[in-house]
Amino acid sequence: VMMDEDIFIHHNYIHDVNGEGIAVGSIFYENGKTVYCGGSAQTYFPHLIDGVKIYENDIQRTGLEGIQVFSAPNDVDIYDNTISFYGLREHGGENEGIYLGTGSTGHIFRNTIKDGLGTALEIHGIGNTRIDNNQIIRAGVNYAPNDRA
């Protein structure tokens, strides 16, 4: 299994994006992705990520999640971020402030998550995830387009 190490995403102002503010890793952790070539099927699994640090970012007005992480089984730290007006596209549930997806585990702390369409935190990780000292304000609120300032 291939593994990338030590990914740091910090001190960014990310705003007015149609998709995710920050998306790290592959969603195909559990079942892989099947590719057909020359009539035969091959299933490929994603490389894993060890040591993801996402901190001190200001993320505003995203179409989908503010931050999402998949396929990162060790040492994910998401902290000191401000995420506001997230998940505004109303696209099939991909509207969380922070989404820790399958194959991931870590520590989510000291984030401010506010004024989003979906849930503030959604966790589908593989265990040993700690969540503490986050400030959540008005999660799950459907805003009119003019309210998204």
- Residues 80-125 pLDDT 10s: 999 999 999 876 778 999 999 989 999 999 999 999 999 999 999 8
Unique residue bearing structure tokens 């490389």: 47
Structure tokens at 93: 């549930």
List the end-to-end C-alpha distance of the chain, in Å, as a whole number: 44
- Residues 18-56 pLDDT 10s: 999 999 998 888 888 999 988 899 998 888 999 999 999
Strand ranges inside the chain, DSSP E: 3-10, 13-17, 22-24, 33-37, 40-44, 48-55, 58-62, 67-69, 74-79, 82-84, 98-100, 106-109, 112-116, 121-123, 130-132, 135-139
Q: Please choose, from the candidates 49, 57, 73, 149, the residue with its C-alpha nearest in 3D space to the C-alpha of residue 110.
A: 57
Is there a contact between 110 and 78 (Cβ–Cβ < 8 Å)? no
- Residues 132-141 pLDDT 10s: 999 999 999 8
